[in-house]
Amino acid sequence: MNSAANPDPFDLDFDADDEFTSSPRASDPFADFPPARAPEAPEVPLRPVMRDFDGGDPLSDDLHQPEPPSRLPNAVHEMIAGAEAAFGESSLPRITIHIFCEQAETAELSERAAQDRRMERAVVVTRMGGLASALQIYQNQPTPSLVVVESRDPAPQLLAQLDALAEVCDPGTKVVLVGSANDIALYRELMRRGVSEYLVPPFNALQLVRTVTSLYADPSAPFVGRQIAFCGAKGGAGASTIAHNVAYSITERLQTGAVLVDLDLPFGTAGLDFNQDPLQGVADALSQPDRLDPVLMDRMMARCTERLSLFAAPANLDTDYDIASEAFDEVTQKIRGAAPFVVLDLPHMWTAWTRKILLTSDDLVIVATPDLASLRNAKNMVDLVRRARPNDAPPRLVLNQVGVPGRPEIPVKDFGEALGLTPSLALPWDPKLFGQAANNGQMLAEVSARAKASEGLDDLAQQIARRDPPPTQKSSLFSGLFKKK
């Protein structure tokens, strides 16, 4: 924002039998999760313009506190809707943000947004008083990198105050306005005057976070894929098998690129499951993370299918694998630029780097078995994630090995109610299918594509990727006559 002298611009009523239950896509708690906004072109800073004025997708409700269904889509939000949610989240640089609120609800929402993981590097100061207070304060002090002001005044008065604010703003300051008028004409006028973004209630904390982060997204920055972490509530829950099959389904059924990363360095099974024995893998990348570039990364990854690449674990005990947490962070960030989806197979261990990956991944899938130990561990993980990620969707829960003959189990419905989650998938006990796939180095869909477990994992992959499989082309009656022999 420049002065005139320097113009610039997520029903716990979950019923399941002991064989198989897959939540229908229509009840997917993530289906209405607001999509990530695409990076936009750099905004023109706000500048005063003396002129008379005559007066995305709809925002999703907060997952834990849903808004009343009577609220209608917002025309302005339609205009600024984000891109498809298959892409990773961006975070803010180290900047200072001042938020001036008129309503207590906006101030509370701003405080929630300030605690978001994407804004951990920013300093956020929230004050009451709205646009008028901002005008008074900035008469005597410099403006920060970003100013968010709320005003419920009519358009002519609002525009006059914005012109006055432009006179006291330092060069480079961006302005986001929270207003009350759902008016496209006003939105266009605000954009013409250099306002970086205009928000009209109802919106939630995540929408505010994504609005702010999009202002500082670098269009020239490397592509960032969506990171999905799979973690078992206890050892032997089958998280690795689920992760490998979901990654396979994303690439083969949904026909999009993905990278599978096996982070269980001493005991990883991804190489076995895909019948691969690469000479290099993720351990080599972790040993020298600073040297990892796209060319070296491509050499280290094994090609499982046309669209699926594998960063395999060495799976030997010759090394202690004493690797710094920063190396895991650096390598996973670089891998995110290699494909639209990055599936992380996490080991059942608790370290600084596993904790950070759990909290910073775009999606988290917890795989549990219907027993007490899994229930306790899964609850601890869900509670941790909910505290640390208040504006994100809760973790997805997959119950595996349901219906083992003779074994007492916690019912699927009771398991979900104890966690406050509706399980996304309940997989039946099917040792023949899973055993045959593991021993042959195949995925479940390769052994039996019409098995209930295969279909359930395809549905889970579709929920995670938030996209539908491409339509299948129907072959005509005479197509076989024209095939080349």
The ranges assigned to domains in the chain are 36-215, 226-465
Instruction: Name the helix (H) or strand (E) containing 419.
Output: helix 412-419
pLDDT at 399: 97
pLDDT at 469: 85
Mean pLDDT for the stretch of residues 390-416: 94
* Nearest CA-CA partner of 7 in 50, 54, 41, 40: 50
The CB density around residue 451, as the number of other CB atoms within 10 Å, is: 19
pLDDT at 479: 56
Residue whose entry in the numeric block shows the structure tokens 């997989």: 427
pLDDT digits (tens, 9 = 90+) for 87-142: 455 677 888 999 999 999 999 999 999 888 888 888 999 999 999 899 999 988 89
pLDDT digits (tens, 9 = 90+) for 13-49: 434 344 334 444 434 444 444 444 444 444 434 433 3
Mean pLDDT for the stretch of residues 227-253: 95
Reported CATH class of domain 36-215 = alpha beta
Mean pLDDT is lowest, of 32-36, 68-72, 301-305, 447-451, for 68-72
Q: Kindly give the residue spans of alpha helices, DSSP state H, lying in 370-480.
A: 372-388, 412-419, 431-440, 444-447, 452-465
Distances (CA, A) of 304 to 252, 276, 281, 450, 462: 11, 8, 13, 22, 20
Assess if CATH 3.40.50.300 describes domain 226-465. yes
Q: Token pair for residue 378?
A: 């899964």
Shared fold status for 36-215 and 226-465: yes
Percent pLDDT > 70 in the chain is 77
pTM (2 d.p.): 0.69
Q: What is the mean pLDDT of the chain?
A: 81
Instruction: Name the helix (H) or strand (E) containing 165.
Output: helix 155-168
3-state DSSP call for residue 427?
Answer: strand
Q: If pLDDT is split at 50, 70 and 90, which confidence band does 462 have?
A: very high
Q: Token pair for residue 461?
A: 């992959």
Q: If pLDDT is split at 50, 70 and 90, which confidence band does 1 have?
A: low
